[in-house]
Amino acid sequence: MADKADSYVCGTSDTPLLGDTIGRSLDQAARRWSDREALVSPSHGVRWTWKELAERVDALAASFVALGLERGARIGIWSLNRPEWTLTQFAAAKAGLILVTINPAYRLSELEFALHKVGCSAIVTATAFKTSNYMDMLNTLLPELASAKPGQLRAARLPALRIVIQIGGPACPGTIPFDEVAGMGGTQYREQLAALGASLQFDDAVNIQFTSGTTGSPKGVTLTHHNILNNGYFVGRAMRLTEQDRICIPVPLYHCFGMVMGNLASVTLGATMVYPGEGFDPLATLRTIEQEKCTALYGVPTMFIAELDHGEFSNFNLKSLRTGIMAGAPCPIEVMKRVNSEMNMGEVTIAYGMTETSPVSFQSAVDDPLDRRVSTVGRIHPHVEVKVVDLDGKIVKRGQRGELCTRGYSVMLGYWEETEKTADVLDANGWMHTGDIAIIDDQGYCNIVGRIKDMVIRGGENLYPREIEEFLYRHPKIQDVQIFGVADTRYGEELCAWIRVRSGEKLTMEEVRSFCDGQIAHNKIPRYVEFVDEFPMTVTGKIQKFLMRDDVEKRLGLKAAKTA
């Protein structure tokens, strides 16, 4: 047994892991909560009970079988948040397919890479949304589609792809309209589906999610029923969700936050999935919370900031809210306090994890003391192990910094057909190396202090951007701030701050530096301070600091010290 002073924690629980596939879990939900609302999407006029959702899923799954999609085949979904996305998620799982969730922000080369990498046989695609015309991009990638018989595509650039299913309209040549697919699965295919369902195993792969690819090509994280169904279940239990709850889900479904922590938490605990719109809109989110009496709200910090600072925020009654999750990026303490007090989310939880771990491994409890909920990511999830290690891979003592490693049911099978890249992060003992720098205290609470890649080494000293960001959030004029390193000929790296100023306020570099003077060490005071309107980020709200660094170094002509 490890020394109690070591940074090793294991999530003990009296609640066992679920031994179900996603399809069987949906069947159970339809029996347990048949007439309760399962999915509400006001902008699409959808309000389905669990019984109705399960019936629609069964029809779609049988039709996937009818289309010749065999167990283990990959089916892509390329759309923002719509009811069809959720139908596809559950129907693919029921039909034994592997759902490939494609970022709606992808453009041609990224789309081609993803579909080709995993050999998708089919894709369910939206027609268009705002500036993204999905069908135009597909027709560019697949010139053969226009003359193909629906369901029998033969494309030079994507030889595995046979079927293009189109959500919405107008219908494009060569595609099968989504609304027509569900009618294809007759009695024989229903019987095949039932037989298939009995043979599916919870350890089967069910989902491939691409990492953001901030360094090199995106990697296909391969996850099982067991991985993501259980993670959704225990995330929901941490919030004490029941069939009385209604989760407002403005986060993307293509990412674990939406499809696991949202949809799969709901199916295992009976909560209602509520989609405020296809893409994130703070006003639509606030309106939906009030109209649908949502009890839980999900978001990354930038989403909560946009809601709190919206000009109409005070017009909405958010009294129905109780809990929710802030995750996806480090959660600023001051923002967390406002969410607690101004949004009535007294039981809001912080969750931490990564796609490779299904995603959550730490989560705060609804009754954790406020100081714990605003300064840590909570404690270890049930049935998960974590250790913090030094650069040599040895466990460090409690209270010391090191790399966070995770092991347990939640760890991915691996990166799709990437044996070497899998071995880079998943060691022989089953530990997933996260790349995050963490501290675990004596009570088992975890604090994420940065990314190994984000750490700034100035004159041989390790500086952690998160620590400086948290200090600057205290400034009353600062709405949002990001700290990152830039090249420097003398110190190797210097600190740069990008700051978003609160509406109606003015701020200067001198004010920022004087705010820091005498409060934090001089080497933590940013050398460069820039005021910006927005930060480059992924669709899921992850800040892309490497783009900020590149921008500043290029504009200012900064170069690192010569080392040889």
Residue 235 and residue 271: Cα distance in Å, rounded? Answer: 12
Does 460 share its domain with 445? no
Q: Nearest-CA neighbor of 441 among 485, 486, 376? A: 376
Quick check: 132 pLDDT over 90? no
Q: Which CATH number fits the domain that encloses residue 326?
A: 3.40.50.12780
Q: Which domain holds residue 534?
A: 456-556
In this structure, what DSSP letter does residue 21 have? -
Does 437 share its domain with 514? no
Quickly state the pLDDT bin for 374 (edges 50, 70, 90).
confident
Does 34 share its domain with 140? yes
Mean pLDDT value of segment 500-517: 95
User: pLDDT tens digits, residue range 135-160?
Assistant: 999 999 999 999 999 999 999 999 99
Q: Please, which residues have CB within 8 angstroms of residue 48's CB and are 6 or more apart in sequence?
A: 37, 38, 39, 40, 56, 83
Mean pLDDT value of segment 489-511: 94
C-alpha distances in angstroms, 75 versus 102, 110, 132, 285?
Answer: 10, 16, 21, 30
Mean pLDDT value of segment 315-322: 98
Instruction: Among 449, 475, 497, identify where a domain stops.
Output: 449
pLDDT at 214: 44
Does 436 share its domain with 531? no
pLDDT at 539: 64
- Percentage of the chain beyond pLDDT 70 is 97
C-alpha distances in angstroms, 310 versus 315, 427, 502?
Answer: 10, 46, 12
Instruction: Among 449, 482, 500, identify where a domain stops.
Output: 449
User: pLDDT tens digits, residue range 207-263?
Assistant: 999 986 544 578 999 999 999 999 999 999 999 999 999 999 999 999 999 999 999
Does 445 share its domain with 460? no
In this structure, what DSSP letter does residue 453 have? T
User: pLDDT tens digits, residue range 385-397?
Assistant: 999 999 899 999 9
Mean pLDDT value of segment 355-384: 93
Does 175 share its domain with 26? yes
Quick check: 42 pLDDT over 50? yes
pLDDT at 215: 47
Residue 200 and residue 206: Cα distance in Å, rounded? Answer: 10
Q: Which CATH number fits the domain that encloses residue 73?
A: 3.40.50.980
Name the residue with tokens 């993307």: 252
Q: Residue 44: inside a domain, yes or no? A: yes
Does 424 share its domain with 340? yes
Q: Please, which residues have CB within 8 angstroms of residue 153's CB and are 6 or more apart in sequence?
A: 142, 144, 145, 161, 162, 163, 164, 174
Quick check: 540 pLDDT over 90? no
pLDDT at 212: 63
Does 81 share its domain with 129? yes
Q: Residue 562: inside a domain, yes or no? A: no
- Percentage of the chain beyond pLDDT 90 is 82
Does 424 share its domain with 480? no
Q: Which is more confidently placed, 317 or 459?
A: 317
Q: Nearest-CA neighbor of 6 among 368, 351, 390? A: 390
Amino acid symbol at 341: S
Q: Nearest-CA neighbor of 470 among 424, 413, 422, 516? A: 516
Residue 416 and residue 118: Cα distance in Å, rounded? Answer: 7
Does 403 share its domain with 461? no
pLDDT at 31: 98
Q: Residue 418: inside a domain, yes or no? A: yes
Q: Residue 300: inside a domain, yes or no? A: yes
As for how many domains the chain has, the answer is 3
pLDDT at 562: 52
Residue pair 144/154 in contact (Cβ under 8 Å)? The answer is yes
Quickly state the pLDDT bin for 564 (edges 50, 70, 90).
very low
Q: Residue 130: inside a domain, yes or no? A: yes
pLDDT at 169: 85
Does 402 share its domain with 285? yes
User: pLDDT tens digits, residue range 323-345?
Assistant: 999 987 667 778 888 999 999 99
Q: Which CATH number fits the domain that encloses residue 466?
A: 3.30.300.30
Q: How deeply is 271 buried, as exposed, middle or buried, from its count of CB atoms within 10 A (0-12, 13-18, 19+)?
A: buried
Residue pair 48/71 in contact (Cβ under 8 Å)? The answer is no
Does 460 share its domain with 439? no
Q: How deeply is 333 buried, as exposed, middle or buried, from its count of CB atoms within 10 A (0-12, 13-18, 19+)?
A: middle
Instruction: Among 411, 434, 449, identify where a domain stops.
Output: 449
Q: Residue 416: inside a domain, yes or no? A: yes
Q: Residue 127: inside a domain, yes or no? A: yes
Quick check: 432 pLDDT over 80? yes
pLDDT at 450: 80
Q: Residue 182: inside a domain, yes or no? A: yes
